[in-house]
Structure 1
Amino acid sequence: MNRLIARRHELAEAVASLAGSRLLTFTGPGGVGKTRLALEVGYRARSGYCDGVWLAELSDLRIDAGVAEVEAALISALGVVEQSAREPRDKLFSFLRKRRVLLILDNCEHVLASVRAVLPLLLREVPQLRVVATSREPLAVEGEVLRPVRPLTAPEPGTPVAQLVIDGSVSLLIDRARAVDPAFDVTEENAEAVIALCRLLEGVPLAIELAAAKFRALTVEQVVDRFASRLTSLSAPGALASSRHRSLGAMVEWSYELCSAEAQVLWRRLSVFPAGFDLDLAEAVCCFGELAPVDVVDTIERLVGQSILLADRNAGVMRYRLLVPLREVAAELADNAGETTQLERRHRDVMVRRSEEMLDRWSGPRQDALISRMRQDHASYVAAIQWSEATSGEQETGLRLLGRLRYYWLGRGALAEGRTRLESMLVAAPEPSRARAECVWVVTWIALLQGDHDAAAARLTDLRSLAAELNDRSLDVHVRHWSGLLAMFTGDPANAVSGLQAAVEGHRAFADSFLELTARYMLATALVCADRPGDALAMSRETIELCEQCGDQTARAYAVWAAAVAEWRLGRLDEAEQRACEALQLQRALSDGICVALSTNLLGCIAHDRRQRRRALSLALAAGRIWRSLGTSLEAFGPQLAELGQLHTPSLPSTAELEGLPAFGKLPDLEDVIDLGLGIAPGSTKGQRAYAEVLTKREIEVAAMIERGLSNREIAERLVIAKRTVDGHVERILAKLGFTSRAQVAAWMSRRGLGTRDSGASDGGLRR
């Protein structure tokens, strides 16, 4: 993040205002720096919020998005992995009600009606919640304290050079100009031009940054010459805010006119992406008519160089995004060119193809990487789904897209969101089809995992009808599969075993390897419930071997857990513990909360059988926290497993015992629970060493500086190495840890306590 320039007084007043109010709103025109101030307030106030400072970016929501979409955005931003069938508002209130949280709501202006409906309820229901918002106009919510964000000061003509460097606009211009030209400075020769430019830009930070980017190719005098007449012609008497807004618009329009014809076409077409995108997406969506694929790489490079596109490296892949004001201008230009509908259709079709590619590669060794990529493209998938649902004749393709995303909803802990979107599209596209049937069995699976057995049974009835009407034998296999799982979850292990055995054979016949592996580990679990642990162990071992052959990790983790349960039922506690720990180790990369909770529950039962009451209590409490965060429970997986868990769980602890148990805070952290299951105390030397072995000594050093908020350039200066060397280190850190952002690295370092040894205390960070 860039340094905050010339905002010290405003920042101090905002922090003071927050201490006396539960809602603080930064208002002002686009590009004036509202978001940057809000983030800085959150950073400085973080110590007062034991449950964290969280950032909810609303800019990806469509204009006038409904209340449900705003609530869903808040749930996603807060990392709520509640997967029950409850309404989103209930999940949100339940998650926040007893927590002390600072929530930053960024870019509220285009969803004001919905924010005004949600926020008063949220503040009333969550007494310890405080909110910092940014908007171009007030939220008009009771108790709101407004902090208008003014432009930076601009120097008066004739100001001496020595005094210019303390002016707000000039300080920002120098800082950003040196990013593209390290030798830039204000001198007697260019001082007049610097003053003129800052006054023309009226102190709007985004406009200053765009202008500074031009210093790559132009002198400050040339920039003034090219801007002066244009800005003067657009300036008119009136409110200051209005003229500032015109200045920013003029800057954007001027930047557009300076682009080549290819860059103009690409810029306006990139507006179809609601958030970030990669090169492949840009080429596939935007290349038609006068824009050829061979032009895209060089054109994107030029747009990045002109600060029109922002570029971020994520796990070895460069991703790009347009700032909201630039995207808005581009969208208007695309609409004027008559390209909007074509772009939206192409975008949807490309997202369908990407989802199909993911599905084809799913049963392999890089499932964690596939889920990570899907998370990065989440906003684009949602936009494609919404367009398909809202556009006449496109709902069938929307069903196909949603069905192809099935392992995304399941693998990233987004069962509730996936089910909501699936059921909405099923209502919009009621005609019998293969795509509809696929969505029906996916919804059935999700409902079963949520413990909503009645809804799952109703969907199974729909699936039987579709299988008969379409005369599709592969759908008959799905009927047997999910009927078998429903039987297990409702206490009928005999029918569960027969149904899941048929599913294993059927999926193998249709060459669906992942669903075959899925049915296998489910069958192993059903065999345990049927009191056949020996058969369950044999099935688990066979499944693990098949997973190892193809590199599948998701099914392997569950098969390992099923083997652990079978070993435990056979009385082999050492072998059961070893297997359960192996399942937890696999979850380091996969982060599947259900598998972590199941494995932790089992380790607690093993500890109880060994009369290790303290460990058994700790594990039972940790598993309980995860189950509650997921919105389900062990009981949802059938009475047999639930009864086994109850019989091997210690009685409720006394207050004294509770005080002596490990504390996990109010927000369940899978990493900490995994540490507990593996016997690694939070913050212990053993835990640090286990994690430190993932990274080299130099990578730990770089990650520590990322935790402290340093940019790659600043890290390079501290370590006296080239910036491209730091870029390489950061790329390898992201790849090794399976992360997609620097914020994840900072949070990981903070949890492990690795950064404090070499680099001082952690600076913390925002959760997003």
Structure 2
Amino acid sequence: MASPGAWRRDGNLPAELTSFVGRDRLLATLRQRLLEARLVTVTGIGGVGKSRTALRAAHQMLAQYRDGVWYADLSRLQDPIMVPHAINAALGIADQSARPEIETLADWLAERELLLVIDSCEHVVAATAQLVERVLRAAPGVRVLATSRQSLGVQGEQSLPIAPLLVPGDDRGESPYLNESVQLFAERASAVVPGFSVDEENITAVSELCRRLDGIPLAIELAAVRLRALSVEQILALLIDRFSLLAGASRTALPRHQTLRAAIGWSHELCAPAERLLWARLSVFSGDFELEAAREVCAGETLPEDEVMDLISGLIEKSILLSSSERSGVRYRLIDTLRQYGREWLDKLGETDDVRSRHRDYYLGLAERGEGAWSGPRQVYWFGRMRQEHDNIRAALDFCLRDPAEARTGLTLLSSLWFMWVACGFAREGRLYLERALAASPDPSRERCKALWVLAYVRSAQGDTAGALEAAEQCANDAVRVGDRIAWILATKMQGTAAWLKGDLHKATTLLGAAIQFHRSGRELNPGLLPAIVELAVVLTQQGELEEAEDLLRDCRQLCAERGELWLRSYAVWATSAIERMTGRTADAVFSAQEALRMKRHFHDVLGVVVAMETLSQLALDQGDAARAARMLGAGQVNWQMFGLPLFGSPFFGTEHEQCVKECRRLLGEDAYAEAYRQGTRMDFEEAVSYALGESGPDPRDGAA
């Protein structure tokens, strides 16, 4: 399916849209419904083309929506509680705030005019309906286009059922060559067998084949693939045999959902035994996956590892498996309907728990590799990789959280992913998982200790200082009981962070200084040593000990450069800009703050971006450009709201911010300040970063000078 997120107006069509047979009237009806209603749900059986139709109509209506068309795919979710997470992630909202996610989403959408496409809702219909109701109340400029096998049941919803394609005989008077089903078969067949065409010799067999398949697009596409080895007549004969087994040869007794299952089952039977086994085992993956993962998870005594690649190629040739070329390499995925079929077979084989366990183990190993490499030169790679594996990480966590026997392993996986929760934009999701896992494992253990300091870290990032301190103190107590020295040191560091954010600078200095001393071996840079150094430097800066703070940051930047660490280095550079500003080195301060901002772009680090923008707004004011400062204040405030408690709730950050606002108002006057601030609030995340870096000016449509 199309990638989550917004389609650029000048971008290429998603692959699913490059071929679309017939249904012009249906598309026109759907476009008209979207003009009339704020919620339209496209319904129909699996394989009938709901997603493709919705995507096509949405793309045709791009120009109708000032803020674009956005796409969210829910087919990979297993837990309804994750619906808001998936929608926020699709919209590019940094998933960090401690507020309820639906509130975050509603606030973000409130002033926007866009179309939100929510695909494959049937298995999470209640949660989706609740979210859509809230969005429609809060955001009058938003329209929602959903696809589901059933309506959402939301007031004002218009449902548009999608029937299968017309088959020959349905469109009386039309030539069978012009029939929708026949045209789809001809198109797919010519892609499989170059030069194939529907002609006088095969039109009768093709027409009957389409009738037998009830005009269901997915069934027709699966049948067309068989032309690599069979003639149309042979395909039809085999299919009739299968239908006879299912329905006693009664054509009228065969419901359409059975038609689809028959077509899928027939494709299943035509696979080699090893291909069928791999299909079943691949069904444990959520979303796409790489070859290494398929080998690790699916190979075994009955399926040699060195055969997996050839079997994958066979499934691709049969249109069971899809492949796509990404920057990181080739990735594979099963269509949702075929994945469900594979899961049923995996259950029948009695292998579900074993294969899901191997799937969990693979992603646990990946998480641990990422944790070990995070502070090195491949940090940007691991940021992208873990975001790419997000769906499979969720599936692995769900497996652990549903089985009490897997609770400790779940804690290990969750805590190994601390860098994903804090640095990759998933703090709120991490907090949800951590709190659930800790509640399920109340007895002190090393695994629980690590999960507690990770939870403290996540809560601090959200501005929940009290919650962070609670988790850190509990970690310290449990660490003493189980003899976990590392956890105790990290708990000390997290308590120091909480003290800093509360404004208790003396306590913060003591605790952060102790954490640094304990970590002086230098073997572990994150999340203990480097963050403690940067935070202590900020505390010293707030206390006026600028020379000592700058020395600390210089050492920190050098250590980061030697190790190839970029994420924490950006914070050290930002903290340096604050010292440069306080000592009158304005040009140096602007350079440092913008350098930090450029680094943060690699990680979509909303927290780091808004902190840097606060500094740049103050620097703009220092340079006499109050309008620029006000725009950045507006842009920063919007992103603070999305991230969590504005300015961490920290007295230091809050005081600096209010002083900047007050001075901008004085210099510009209330009306001019309000207009400049409003222009900032209209910038999206990337626009705000570009503006803060001096790469672009304010949007001329906003009436800026």
With normalisation by structure 1, the TM-score equals 0.84
User: Separation in 1 of the partners of 2:592 and 2:656?
Assistant: 18
- Given the alignment, which residue of 379, 404, 408 partners 1:367? 379
Q: How far did residue 232 of structure 1 move? A: 4.2
User: Separation in 1 of the partners of 2:329 and 2:639?
Assistant: 32
Partner of 1:46: 62
User: Separation in 2 of the partners of 1:137 and 1:478?
Assistant: 49
User: Separation in 1 of the partners of 2:98 and 2:495?
Assistant: 20
Could you list the runs of 4 or more consecutive aligned residues of structure 1 that deviate by over 6 angstroms after TM superposition?
157-160, 236-241
Partner of 2:559: 546
What code does the residue aligned with 2:554 have?
A: R
CA deviations on 1:205-227 (whole Å, 9 max, x unpaired) are 11111122223333333322332
Q: How far did residue 157 of structure 1 move? A: 11
Cα distance 1:624–1:111, how it changes in 2: closer, same or farther (>3 A)?
closer
User: Separation in 2 of the partners of 1:240 and 1:274?
Assistant: 36
For structure 1, which segment, 107-116 or 394-403, has the greater mean C-alpha deviation from structure 2 after superposition?
Answer: 107-116
Partner of 2:396: 384
SS at match of 2:197: coil
Runs of 5+ in structure 2 lacking a partner?
Answer: 1-14, 700-705
Q: How far did residue 615 of structure 1 move? A: 2.0
User: Given the alignment of the two structures, is residue 423 of structure 1 paired with residue 435 of structure 2, yes or no?
Assistant: yes
Alignment of 1:242-641 (within 5 A): 243-509=255-521, 511-515=523-527, 516-636=529-649, 638-641=650-653
User: Given the alignment of the two structures, is residue 672 of structure 1 paired with residue 687 of structure 2, yes or no?
Assistant: yes
CA root-mean-square deviation: 2.5
* Preserved CA contact (<8 Å) 1:567 1:575: yes
User: Separation in 1 of the partners of 2:28 and 2:58?
Assistant: 12
SS at match of 1:189: coil
* Preserved CA contact (<8 Å) 1:363 1:551: yes
User: Separation in 1 of the partners of 2:535 and 2:693?
Assistant: 25
SS at match of 2:40: strand
SS at match of 2:75: helix
For structure 1, which segment, 303-312 or 270-279, has the greater mean C-alpha deviation from structure 2 after superposition?
Answer: 270-279
- Given the alignment, which residue of 2, 6, 28 partners 2:44? 28
User: Separation in 2 of the partners of 1:473 and 1:233?
Assistant: 66
What code does the residue aligned with 2:500 have?
A: M
- Given the alignment, which residue of 40, 54, 59 partners 2:75? 59
* Preserved CA contact (<8 Å) 2:89 2:95: no
CA deviations on 1:418-447 (whole Å, 9 max, x unpaired) are 111101110001111111111111111111
* Preserved CA contact (<8 Å) 1:497 1:526: yes
Q: How far did residue 660 of structure 1 move? A: 6.1
Partner of 2:702: none
Q: How far did residue 25 of structure 1 move? A: 1.6
The structure with higher relative contact order (CA 8 Å, sep 6+) is 1
User: Separation in 2 of the partners of 1:664 and 1:203?
Assistant: 51
User: Given the alignment of the two structures, is residue 148 of structure 1 paired with residue 148 of structure 2, yes or no?
Assistant: no
User: Given the alignment of the two structures, is residue 172 of structure 1 paired with residue 184 of structure 2, yes or no?
Assistant: yes
- Given the alignment, which residue of 213, 217, 222 partners 1:201? 213
Q: How far did residue 116 of structure 1 move? A: 4.1
What code does the residue aligned with 1:598 have?
A: V
Q: How far did residue 402 of structure 1 move? A: 0.2
Cα distance 1:325–1:181, how it changes in 2: closer, same or farther (>3 A)?
same
* Preserved CA contact (<8 Å) 2:449 2:475: yes
CA deviations on 1:271-329 (whole Å, 9 max, x unpaired) are 11122111111111111231111110100111011100011112132111111111111
What code does the residue aligned with 1:559 have?
A: A
User: Separation in 2 of the partners of 1:99 and 1:213?
Assistant: 44
Q: How far did residue 384 of structure 1 move? A: 1.4
What code does the residue aligned with 2:467 have?
A: A
For structure 1, which segment, 569-578 or 524-533, has the greater mean C-alpha deviation from structure 2 after superposition?
Answer: 524-533
Cα distance 1:562–1:660, how it changes in 2: closer, same or farther (>3 A)?
closer
* Preserved CA contact (<8 Å) 1:537 1:567: no
Count of residue pairs the alignment pairs up? 678
SS at match of 1:394: helix
* Preserved CA contact (<8 Å) 1:235 1:246: no
Instruction: Percent identity, please.
Output: 36
Q: How far did residue 173 of structure 1 move? A: 1.6
User: Separation in 1 of the partners of 2:654 and 2:204?
Assistant: 78
Cα distance 1:392–1:635, how it changes in 2: closer, same or farther (>3 A)?
closer
Q: How far did residue 334 of structure 1 move? A: 0.8
* Preserved CA contact (<8 Å) 1:591 1:670: no
* Preserved CA contact (<8 Å) 1:157 1:192: no
User: Separation in 2 of the partners of 1:562 and 1:342?
Assistant: 49
Q: How far did residue 493 of structure 1 move? A: 2.2
With normalisation by structure 2, the TM-score equals 0.91
* Preserved CA contact (<8 Å) 1:609 1:648: no
User: Separation in 2 of the partners of 1:119 and 1:600?
Assistant: 32
Alignment of 1:705-720 (within 5 A): none
SS at match of 2:319: coil
User: Separation in 2 of the partners of 1:165 and 1:53?
Assistant: 35
What code does the residue aligned with 2:166 have?
A: T
Partner of 1:691: none
Cα distance 1:493–1:181, how it changes in 2: closer, same or farther (>3 A)?
same
Runs of 5+ in structure 1 lacking a partner?
Answer: 685-768
SS at match of 1:143: coil
Partner of 1:688: none
